[in-house]
């Protein structure tokens, strides 16, 4: 019953031209493939993505990648050893926190989560 009412409302709106000149009209939809994300996490990941927020583990992974890049640049720029040691300590702490978070969430037992994590890692850069 509700589907019929909704269809009729959509048809009315189309006849009135309310859907004309919408952004992206005539272009294919960009569909995010979240088939590898576990069902119980899919809705929350979509909400976070729409809000422009990375999940906590991906934000931490991004920080790890940034620290590695910074450390590599320090070696290229011949930075002092104290600065490099400090950055390496921060990197180690973040890597341990990330690994503990993944172990706690038991992400290692889900093939779907591993596949999704690998896709994100390829986009952000690997830390291992």
Q: Give residue 102's pLDDT.
A: 78
Q: Give residue 128's pLDDT.
A: 47
Q: Give residue 110's pLDDT.
A: 67
Q: Give residue 38's pLDDT.
A: 78
- Which residues, 6+ apart, have CB-to-CB distance to 37 below 8 Å? 45, 112, 113, 116
Our CA angle for 108, 113, 116, nearest 5°, is 130
Q: Give residue 126's pLDDT.
A: 58
Of 120, 116, 99, which is closest to residue 39 (Cα–Cα)? 116
Give the tens place of pLDDT for each residue, 19-53: 888 888 888 877 777 777 778 888 888 888 888 88
pTM above 0.75, yes or no: no
Residue ranges of the chain with pLDDT lower than 70?
A: 76-77, 79, 106-110, 125-128
Q: Where are the alpha helices (DSSP H) in the chain?
A: 2-16, 39-50, 56-76, 81-104, 111-124
């Amino acid at each position: 019953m509700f589907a019929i009412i909704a269809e009729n409302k959509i048809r009315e709106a189309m006849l009135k031209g309310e859907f004309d000149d919408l952004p992206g009209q005539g272009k294919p939809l960009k569909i995010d493939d979240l088939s590898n994300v576990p069902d119980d996490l899919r809705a929350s990941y979509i909400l976070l993505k729409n809000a422009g927020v990375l999940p906590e583990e991906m934000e931490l992974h991004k920080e790890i990648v940034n620290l590695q890049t910074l450390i590599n640049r320090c070696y290229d720029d011949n930075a002092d050893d104290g600065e490099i040691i400090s950055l390496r300590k921060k990197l180690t702490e973040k890597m341990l926190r990330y690994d503990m978070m993944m172990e706690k969430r038991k992400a290692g037992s889900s093939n779907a989560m591993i596949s999704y994590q690998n896709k994100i890692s390829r986009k952000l850069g690997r830390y291992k």
